[in-house]
Amino acid sequence: MDGKNLSLFKDKPIKVLLAKPGIDGHDRGVLVLAKAFRDAGMEVLYAGLLPTPEEVVDTAINEDVDVIALSLLNGAHLTVFRKISELLKKRGIDDIAVVGGGTIPDGDKPKLEKLGITGNYGPGTPLSTIVDHITARASEARSRKMQ
Which spans of this chain sit near another protein (rule: CB under 8 A)? 1-6, 8-13, 15, 22-28, 31-32, 34-52, 54-55, 58-59, 61-64, 74-76, 78-80, 83, 91-93, 103, 105-106, 122-124, 126-128, 145, 147
In the complex, what is the shortest distance from the CB of residue 33 to another protein, in angstroms, rounded to a whole number? 9
In the complex, what is the shortest distance from the CB of residue 99 to another protein, in angstroms, rounded to a whole number? 17
In the complex, what is the shortest distance from the CB of residue 53 to another protein, in angstroms, rounded to a whole number? 9
Q: Which is nearer to another protein, 99 or 102 (CB)?
A: 102
Q: Which is nearer to another protein, 50 or 113 (CB)?
A: 50
Pairing of strands 97-102, 67-72: parallel
Q: Which is nearer to another protein, 46 or 112 (CB)?
A: 46
